[in-house]
Amino acid sequence: MILLDGKLVSEDLKKSIADQAAIFLKENERKPHLAAILVGNDGGSETYVASKVKNCEKVGFESTLIRFDTSVSEIELLNEIRIINERTDIDGLIVQLPLPAHINPDLVTETIDYRKDVDGFHPVNLGRMQRNLPCFLPATPFGILLMLEYYKINTSGMNCVVIGRSNIVGSPISILMARNANPGNCTVTLAHSKTKNIKELTLNADIIIAAIGKKNFLSADMVKNGSIIIDVGINREESSESRSGYKLFGDVDFEQVSKKAAFITPVPGGVGLMTIVGLLKNTLSAARKEIYS
Ligand code: NAP
């Protein structure tokens, strides 16, 4: 079994991003700049945003964190997004999800200028992705592709089962794995909560991408020997054993499945770290105006 090591890969790719950020600074007399909006103080969201800001600093980007109380109105939030859309010194904008129930996340996503949509959630970017045109890829699927590329895994002709059909992970990665590219060229099955007999599908899969949000969902009896396992799940459980007060688990029973897999990502230390790399790469592309002028 080969561990698809998100720590190793992300550190390596971030070095190259930092080199490119230094060149950008020299040529433009400013750093690539990411703005992040955080509404409320959900523990998970705080951790993700803090990590994004820290990683921006690490690679030589500027970052701006804009915080709102949970009581912020939809109009106020949309106005802030419109202000950032107009700012020429900000290259990328993300709004951390989930948002409070009174705010429509689709409206928020569609209000972000697609040229600054470095999370890759805007319909323009998703539509261009589907047509295999240059775009900002959604950060987590992008991170998965970068991981497969780094380990030179040729996925052509493989049966790929994606479990979970969210707009941010499952659905886009299923499109990307099916497109005529490498990584890609897979025969993809997209499974979800209404899928009958998932085990029958996963037992026939060469590559399984689990994005469900259920600890240890994928068990060893569901995978064939020599398969490639990508675990996107991040499930938090309170734990007195760790300093942070919680422990993270994936959607895959790592201990047992790793005995059968050819390649597998751990949680933590896998896809989560690659998501940040996807975001940083998109931000650099936005600053350089590589996709949209
Ligand atoms: P989500 O919006 O919560 O959707 C979960 C998906 O799983 C849905 O499509 C659902 O099916 C499906 N599902 C639920 N129970 C199932 C079952 N028993 N059998 C088959 N499918 C089932 O998902 P998400 O936002 O993509 O998040 C998934 C996980 O990935 C979460 O743990 C999240 O924290 C994690 N995540 C990690 C990263 C990272 O960077 N590593 C990034 C994003 C998310 P239906 O559509 O039928 O309801």
Ligand 1 pocket: which of 193, 198, 237, 248 to mutate (most atoms within 8 A of CB):
193
Give the mean model confidence (pLDDT) for residues 56-68.
Answer: 97
Our answer on whether the CB atom of 272 is closer than 6 Å to any ligand 1 atom is yes
Cα dihedral 193/195/200/203 (nearest 10): -50
233 and 270 Cβ atoms separated by less than 8 Å:
no
How far from 92 is each of 163, 185, 288, CA to CA, in Å?
30, 30, 11
Radius of gyration of the chain (CA): 19
Ligand 1 center–CA 191 separation, angstroms:
11
Our answer on whether the CB atom of 275 is closer than 6 Å to any ligand 1 atom is yes
Atom of ligand 1 nearest to the CA of 271: 41
115 and 146 Cβ atoms separated by less than 8 Å:
no
Query: Residue 3, SS3?
Result: strand
- Give the per-residue pLDDT at 172: 98
Our answer on whether the CB atom of 141 is closer than 6 Å to any ligand 1 atom is no
Q: Is the pLDDT of residue 246 over 90?
A: no
Ligand 1 center–CA 115 separation, angstroms:
27
Our answer on whether the CB atom of 250 is closer than 6 Å to any ligand 1 atom is no
Ligand 1 pocket: which of 94, 169, 198 to mutate (most atoms within 8 A of CB):
169
Our answer on whether the CB atom of 235 is closer than 6 Å to any ligand 1 atom is yes
Ligand 1 pocket: which of 214, 232, 274 to mutate (most atoms within 8 A of CB):
232
Nearest CA to ligand 1 atom 47: 193
Our answer on whether the CB atom of 189 is closer than 6 Å to any ligand 1 atom is no
The dihedrals phi and psi of 66, each to the nearest 5 degrees, come to -110, 120
Residue 244 binned pLDDT confidence (cut-offs 50, 70, 90):
confident
pLDDT tens digits, 77-105:
999 999 999 999 999 999 999 999 999 99
Ligand 1 center–CA 163 separation, angstroms:
8
Nearest CA to ligand 1 atom 42: 140
pLDDT tens digits, 211-241:
999 999 999 999 999 999 999 999 999 999 8
Ligand 1 center–CA 61 separation, angstroms:
30
Q: Is the pLDDT of residue 167 over 90?
A: yes
- Give the per-residue pLDDT at 44: 86
Atom of ligand 1 nearest to the CA of 214: 32
What letters, b where the CB count within 10 A reaches 16 and e where it falls short, cover 44-55? ebeebbeebbeb
Our answer on whether the CB atom of 266 is closer than 6 Å to any ligand 1 atom is no
Give the mean model confidence (pLDDT) for residues 161-184.
Answer: 97
How far from 111 is each of 35, 45, 81, 133, CA to CA, in Å?
15, 21, 7, 21
